[in-house]
Structure 1
Amino acid sequence: MRATNRYHNKVWFSDIAISMDSEESNDYISDKGLCYGQALLLAEVLTDPPLNLALIQWYDFKSKRNAYLYGCPHLKLIELYNFVAIESIRWSFDLF
């Protein structure tokens, strides 16, 4: 995962996959229990123990009928944001 304020003079953030909690996985359309997002901010909340969070802007499937394109999720970035525990981030992936 990468989140930098400058990369070739452009703001750049990583696309990531989030493991959904098994109790919440039926509430969302997911890709085998994974949802995709873009990391916008990494934060540590100074509590005991500290909380390590990432601010995520979410992707959603571009089409409900054709959710996959060439075997990969066909996604679009949407205006939905949440903080998630960094530990729930599975891996980074390339969309483009």
Structure 2
Amino acid sequence: MLPVETLFQDAKMPARDRRRVRSFLERMEDEATDALAQLIGKLPERQRIALALRFYEALRPEEIAVVLGTREDTVHELLRKATESVGEGMRRSAEKQAAKSARRR
């Protein structure tokens, strides 16, 4: 993916338009971050803990298994379910945003 600045330069976009695009992208990022946090917060506790240990603490599944007092294959299953649930939630959120945006036009 190209950095936004490269796209601006390639398009020879005026500074005013660049500010508007940057503002839009920042809002989109904030909304996505909020949606992600809400979805993670709704996960069952063990899935939420496994996800946090994997992606925030960068622990390997075998290390997470020790922390949770479970088997490694159970950790893989917890992570699979958590990522599927969050991914599906993000997809639904994006569809709602697209529908809302289409209604405004």
| TM-score, normalising length: structure 1 | 0.20
Higher helix share: 2
Structure with higher Rg: it is: 2
Higher strand share: 1
